[in-house]
Structure 1
Amino acid sequence: MLTQNSPEDPALPARPARGPGRPVGDHEEKRAELLAAATKVIAEHGFAKTSLRKVAERAGYTTGAVTYYFANKGDLVLALAESRFDRFDKLLDSVAPEADIRTLVQRWFEMSVGEPEFSIVMSQLLANLQFDAKLKDTLVRRYADYRARFAEIVREGQRRGTIRDDIPAAVLADQIGAMGDGFAVVTPLELQDFGPERIDEILDGVIRLLAPVGNG
């Protein structure tokens, strides 16, 4: 496990703690650094044991500097949840023009294998929905938007003739999403079983399952 400000952690380079008040530098860059630090703290210590103080220590800031961006832990967690779905939206943006489902599933693997903390944090956030109404509302809203966009991408693939059309697009989108979620849970636990060749085999299988009837 990497220690605070470890030089082996490229996402969080070592830096001296700053004084109280606004951190020096670009606002969005510093905010992103704090969200990256929060991701690591939650992945290592769990949601319940995460605090603004721990996040500040991990990022090399004072707690006061963290509260400049996030008033409290709830505010920080909401921002972290939004940032997770912002990444999902960018992923959908990248595959939407060609309805490229293979690339979509491949990117899921890349996040699961290359960024296991991503899946851990999402699991921690989901586990806390019943205790945080604002977090629940945020995730329900963002996930509904995500599912609707995903279904439209599948629908476009059906119009292009690259995805089977004997199953409703919304149903197929949910099935693909469930596969992606499953990979996100399993691959961090069994990284040795998901090398490049294995991932290619799985991707080929997904595409065959989605191929128009008579073309699989």
Structure 2
Amino acid sequence: MTRTADDTFIHQARRKQLIGCAVEVIAELGLANASTVRIAERAGVSRGVLTYHFRDRAELIEQVVQHVYALGAELIGPKMVVARSPREALLTFIQGSVELYAAHPRDMLALTEIFAGSRTERADDQRHQQEVSDLSRILLAGQEQGQFRDFDVNVMCRSIRGALDGALSHVLAGGEVEPYAAELLEIFDAATAVRR
């Protein structure tokens, strides 16, 4: 059966709606309790509608993960592209990450629940690995250009990632965003700066 443009638009809109409902259910109930029946109920559709749009629960969960990473790329990506130096790129990444958490807490909580409740470790996820690789490149470029001091890039990457995980926990607990982000910027600007 050939889909018309309207069918395709409706199909995509329905998939987006179901992904949004999956985000809500996972964020509220955790991954283990986010059954296709509960997600379909949240969407106000039958389970058959859900399985028409997604092969199985695993595909739907994968689409939720893709959705959250796409939010990050959409919010942070354009700002990273126009960063004029490794230092500016690093600070943009940190600020943008905290802003992402504040703008999309439910999506971020769902992602956290997925990684906590699945057999796949976040560190093994290709998208996470790409994020860490991009951060490593920024740090290395800063060292090569003399903007950053000599430090172990792997340790600094893990430190930044750990601090951002802490920021996410802070935001999800309802903590103030701006002071927290400002402190992280101060910490890592000082930690990477060339010592005089």
Matches of 1:89 and 1:181, distance apart in 2:
17
Indicate the structure whose relative CO is greater, using CA pairs within 8 Å and at least 6 residues apart.
Answer: 2
Unaligned runs of 5+ in 2: 1-6
1:77 corresponding residue in structure 2: 61
- SS of the aligned residue for 1:50 comes to coil
| Per-residue deviation, residues 110-169 of structure 1 (Å, max 9, x unmatched) | 232332223321221122233xxxx5599533322222122112222333443x231133
2:4 corresponding residue in structure 1: none
**Larger % of helix: which?**
2
1:116 corresponding residue in structure 2: 105
Equivalent residues of 2:94, 2:184 under 8 A apart:
no
Matches of 1:85 and 1:141, distance apart in 2:
11
With the length of structure 2 as denominator, give the TM-score of the two structures: 0.77
With the length of structure 1 as denominator, give the TM-score of the two structures: 0.71
| Per-residue deviation, residues 50-93 of structure 1 (Å, max 9, x unmatched) | 12222223234332222122122112112222333334445356
Residue 168, structure 1, aligned to residue 152, structure 2: yes
Amino acid at match of 2:109: I
Task: Give the count of matched residue pairs.
Answer: 186
| CA distance 1:139–1:81, change in 2 (3 Å) | farther
Equivalent residues of 2:94, 2:181 under 8 A apart:
no
Mapping of residues 41-190 of structure 1, within 5 Å? 41-90=25-74, 91=76, 94-96=79-81, 98=83, 99=86, 100-130=89-119, 135=120, 139-162=124-147, 164-190=148-174
Identity of aligned residues (%): 21
Matches of 1:40 and 1:64, distance apart in 2:
20
| CA distance 1:208–1:69, change in 2 (3 Å) | same
Shift of 1:173: 2.1
Runs of 4 or more consecutive aligned structure 1 residues displaced over 6 Å after TM superposition: none
Matches of 2:161 and 2:180, distance apart in 1:
19
Amino acid at match of 1:107: G
Equivalent residues of 1:33, 1:59 under 8 A apart:
yes
2:21 to 22, 37, 41: 37
Equivalent residues of 1:111, 1:118 under 8 A apart:
no
- SS of the aligned residue for 1:165 comes to coil
Amino acid at match of 2:144: R
